[in-house]
Chain A
Amino acid sequence: MSSIFDKFAPLKEQHAALTALGRSPDQLQFEDIISPTEAVLNGKRTILMGTNNYLGMTFDDTSVNAAIEALKTEGTGTTGSRIANGSYEGHKALEEELAAFYDMRSAILFSTGYQANLGAISALAGRDDYLLIDADSHASIYDACRLSDAQVIRFRHNDPDNLERKLKRLEGTSGSKLIIVESIYSMLGDMVPLKAFVEIKKKYGAYLLIDEAHSLGVLGEKGRGLCEHDGVEKDIDFITGTFSKSIGTVGGFLVSNLPGMDIIRFVSRPYMFTASPPPSVVASARQTLAKIAGATDKRKQLWDNATQLYNGLKAAGFELGPTLSPIVAIRLSDPEKAIALWNGLIDAGVYTNLALPPATPFGWYLLRSSISAAHTPEQIALAVEVCTKIGRELGIITLSNSQKAGVSKHPDNGSAQLNGASETHPDATSETESLVTPTGDDPAARV
């Protein structure tokens, strides 16, 4: 007899092949979370190298206590959307604090980071408008395009010239043009050439929305992200972000300096038709956000840690993403070796994210790690050592690889760009039905 699940047979086979080589990412269960950087996995103490917990704030006392207090005084959940059930005091306060943090006019909360992109982008771009999105956009951006009535045009990843040609062709059309970019792309950790995009958006009178999911708390003197780091905040129309990375909880937001943004609350379906963030989540987000601007030491530690991991793996001979950032991805073209390395690392007590095509650029198999300010230099040294040992056993790297590899500095010290990401294009093996399958989906990250 046929089943509604029959169509997933190829996927099931692919998943079975992955599991046959060891374990499956969806079956991993942490029995105990010891700290932002350590957990017990299958009875073994494991260093967590793929959490997006950039500032290590998930166990911050003030945030934990504020959440407990909110649970006791306001209960476990809001049980409805703000349009139907009304707002709690914390929702309004957090929106005001976000607007003040970014020095912008207004902010709107969403229940997750995914929903922030989904809700903001689908509502901002209407029937006669144009969405111009980077080809490597996160799944939340691709899904927003499907929910929007606007025409969607993709430009080549991080390619301002390609975007400009597309805007030029739209000259004379009446709809608004909304460009979508991400500050740090979640798979390889490469960054958007923001200043070039800002010049183009000004030249063509387009709007620019930047997703700062991976850069909030990470970049800029006050932790406001890439816009602050690049000194272009006054030219940015919209910023979206998430609380599920450096803020250490869950939720998302849209901020803007443009007057009249509140109308989005009555247009955005992912805002209107889902429960608002629970009081405990709002309470911990407020406490952590309040510490971001002053977390200068943590930011410095984060970049020192990223530099140690990136340069350590590069010196060992691994192929990495093009830019030093807190996201450090080992690029592999052989799926079996990628899966073996990922399993070997877990056996040795180091957890990373395994990312497979078509969710990855160029069809690469990625072992993705995201570093935290809470990692110790000893933990990072151990991770590099274990990775190098297993990488050599699997023939991914050799001693001669190690000798020719250079090192890099982080962007605040200049010279972030290494050789381009396009030096190897191994054939991707994914089978897809559609001509428009998104490529930049991050299967692990946004909650």
Chain B
Amino acid sequence: MLEIQSQLRSRAAENSVIGPDTNITRDLGLDSLAIMDFIFDLEDSFDISIPMERIAEVQTLADLTKAIEILQKEAS
């Protein structure tokens, strides 16, 4: 989660509080394009592809962390 959190911090509005329950679309002042770019970067750093239907289920940082963990397990 720390890795994702730090990537999110570098994109979010200044002084944003980012925790497991942070809603990625609503709480951080990120638009859909910034989020898409964020997902592309995560795919590269974790060497996974995140299918769109998995992304659609994600709301919070905790959701995203879990989704990435599952995808990493599936890949190995």
Interface residues of A (CB under 8 A from B): 135, 145, 151-154, 156, 162, 165-166, 169-170, 357-358, 361-363, 427-437, 439
Contacts and interface: CB of A to CB of B under 8 A. Distances in A.
Describe A's contact surface by its main secondary structure. loop
Interface residues on B, range: 20 to 34
A431 B31 contact: yes
A154 B52 CA distance: 7
Given A135-B36, A162-B40, A430 B31 contact: yes
A433 B49 contact: no
Interface in B6-61: 24-25, 31-36, 39-40, 43-44, 47-53, 55-56, 58
B52 A153 contact: yes
Given A162-B40, A361-B33, 20 more contacts: A151-B53, A154-B40, A154-B52, A156-B40, A166-B43, A169-B47, A169-B48, A169-B75, A358-B33, A362-B33, A363-B31, A428-B31, A430-B31, A432-B31, A432-B32, A433-B25, A435-B35, A435-B39, A435-B58, A436-B55
A169 B24 contact: no
A153 B51 contact: yes
A439 B36 contact: yes
11 contacts: A135-B40, A152-B52, A169-B49, A358-B31, A362-B33, A428-B31, A428-B32, A430-B31, A431-B31, A437-B32, A439-B33
Contacts, number: 67
Contacts of A166: 43, 49
A152 B51 CA distance: 5
B34 to A, nearest CB: 7
A217 B74 CA distance: 46
